[in-house]
Amino acid sequence: MRQELVEEGPVRQVLTGWGGTAPTSANVVSPPAVEDLARLVASRPRRGVVARGLGRSYGDAAQNAGGLVTRLNRLDGIGPVDPVSGHVTCGSGVTLDRLIRTILPLGWFVPVTPGTRQVTLGGAIAADVHGKNHHRDGTISAHVVSLGLIDGLGDLQTLTPQDALFWALPGGMGLSGIVVDVTLRLLPVSSGHVVVDTRKTASLEETMEALEDADRTHRYSVAWVDCLSRGGRMGRGVVTAGEHAGPEGRTHRPGSDKQARRPVHDAMATVPRWAPGAPLTPLTVGLFNELYHRRAPLERRSVEPIGTFFHPLDAVQDWNRLYGSRGVVQHQCTVADAKAMRRVIEVFANRQAPTFLCVLKRFGAQGRAPLSFPQPGWTLAVDLPVGPETASVLDEADSVVLRAGGRVYLAKDSRVAPTAFAEMYPRLDDWRHLRDQLDPHHVFTSDLSRRLHL
């Protein structure tokens, strides 16, 4: 994906999400300071404004056709970490990658991280990101002490979780206000490594049972599942569960920058712009899944660097290009019970949808934010190359999710219908009520908000 230029004035650019679908053109600006951003919002730009981080939402959340898009890369300060409370205040444009590299040598880690660290802190709040530890630690909003935001009038506010309006921000995809700084409660760690238990499973039932077992004993758990195999092998997988390593796993001395960076590797390869799309067919993906499952150990305990365990795809820069010029869509859903999740996986297996990135996890308690995605139960994320059957496969999966009282994740979505979305999020009107107090003129607008009639 092209890195947008940083300019003083607006620059017309064509933007897409990480999936590379539905490009639209907008005026992109990078205000140098919070005051400049506040004046911009107060001017109530024609066709509104939306904030954009690194563009890692798969769909149209950080696009605004014909309007204004503001990048927050200059709001990138990282304050000192309080050694007792673990609180740190950062600008919303700070990436999780840079934050982790800064705090890890000091003995701290972010409390929640998604599958990539190439996201901004403001974007993480807007999507209310979850990680492999949701069953124990919830979403990132559960660890926010306070945040500063610019509301729809251009005024700067500071909100805490004790303020009702705070909960319009997590999961609100930037449509309630622009977060400019965040005070986050960090997690103390003793090393830059994770002790990982790996277990290979032969069926979906065994995979789910292994995940439930892992949740009782580990802070982090996730499973890769084979969504192409059918019959008794459907949903076979590889379950990995982890805990931060103790002092014996320490690979650096605090203050030793060279050693401290080793657990968080830079990208080791880059997919070039001219690379042809991978031939992702049921045959080729089926072969990959077979080889991956066969090579996995039946059971193993190992010690892995933090970057390898949490962010394996970050080792390949611009990996989304592998899906070709038509792009990639991700379908991430959550449903309450195991039977419903089995029916969702059956859709992908029966339709032979070519996906090798198929991730299954368990969620814990639901958070307070009306548009936060996680709810108790199961979540499945699959990546699919855009093709002639993609839309009908995902529509079929959506119907299963709807009947089960589930929902899809706005940070990954690029195509759900507005009627389906409203049914999936029964607290939508609660969010609108909070949003209207923060942004009475609906200055914050995006392609996503127009598509879903928000």
Query: Alpha helices of 121-262 — where are they, by DSSP H?
Result: 121-127, 134-137, 204-217, 257-260
What is the residue extent of each domain of the chain? 87-189, 193-419
235 within 8 A of 345, measured Cβ to Cβ: yes
Pairwise CA distance, residues 147 & 167, whole Å: 11
CB neighbourhood size of 419 (10 A): 11
Query: In this structure, which topology does domain 87-189 adopt according to CATH?
Result: 3.30.465
For residue 332, the SS3 value is: strand
Pairwise CA distance, residues 380 & 358, whole Å: 7
Of 380, 374, 372, 376, the closest CA to residue 337 belongs to 376
Tokens of 30: 């990078």
143 within 8 A of 87, measured Cβ to Cβ: no
Query: Whole-structure pTM over 0.85, yes or no?
Result: yes
Q: Which residue has the tokens 């139960």?
A: 377
| Secondary structure letter of residue 149 according to DSSP | E
Size (the chain), residues: 454
The dihedral of CA 117, 121, 127, 129: what is its sign?
positive
Pairwise CA distance, residues 30 & 95, whole Å: 16
The dihedral of CA 248, 254, 259, 260: what is its sign?
positive
| pLDDT number for residue 268 | 59
Of 449, 448, 454, 443, the closest CA to residue 45 belongs to 443
CB neighbourhood size of 187 (10 A): 18
The HSE-up count of residue 342 (CA atoms within 13 Å, CB side) is: 15
> H or E element: which one contains 36?
helix 34-42
Tokens of 374: 């996680």
The HSE-up count of residue 30 (CA atoms within 13 Å, CB side) is: 17
pLDDT of 228 > 80? The answer is yes
Task: Express each pLDDT in 319-378 by its tens digit.
Answer: 787 777 788 899 999 999 999 999 999 999 999 988 878 999 999 999 999 999 999 999
- 193-419 CATH, one of 3.30.70.2520, 3.40.50.800, 3.40.50.2300, 3.30.450.20: 3.30.70.2520
| pLDDT number for residue 65 | 97
Q: CA gyration radius for the chain?
A: 21
| pLDDT number for residue 255 | 38
Residue-wise DSSP of 249-265: G--S-TT-HHHHTTTSP
Pairwise CA distance, residues 428 & 430, whole Å: 5
Burial of 128 (0-12, 13-18, 19+ CB in 10 A): buried
62 within 8 A of 73, measured Cβ to Cβ: no
Q: What is the mean pLDDT of residues 156-165?
A: 98
Task: Express each pLDDT in 43-61 by its tens digit.
Answer: 999 999 999 999 999 999 9
Q: What is the mean pLDDT of residues 15-33?
A: 94
| pLDDT number for residue 260 | 39
337 within 8 A of 188, measured Cβ to Cβ: no
pLDDT of 313 > 90? The answer is no
* Strand-pair category, 377-385 with 328-335: antiparallel
Q: What is the mean pLDDT of residues 262-290?
A: 71
CB neighbourhood size of 51 (10 A): 29
Q: Which residue has the tokens 């300071």?
A: 33
Tokens of 153: 């009038």
Q: What is the mean pLDDT of residues 419-435?
A: 97
385 within 8 A of 326, measured Cβ to Cβ: yes
pLDDT of 281 > 50? The answer is yes
CA distances from 241 to 54, 196, 216, 223, 256 (A): 28, 6, 10, 9, 29
pLDDT of 198 > 80? The answer is yes
CA distances from 102 to 77, 98, 110, 117 (A): 11, 6, 11, 13
Q: What is the mean pLDDT of residues 229-255?
A: 80
| pLDDT number for residue 95 | 97
pLDDT of 8 > 80? The answer is no
Q: What is the mean pLDDT of residues 259-269?
A: 59
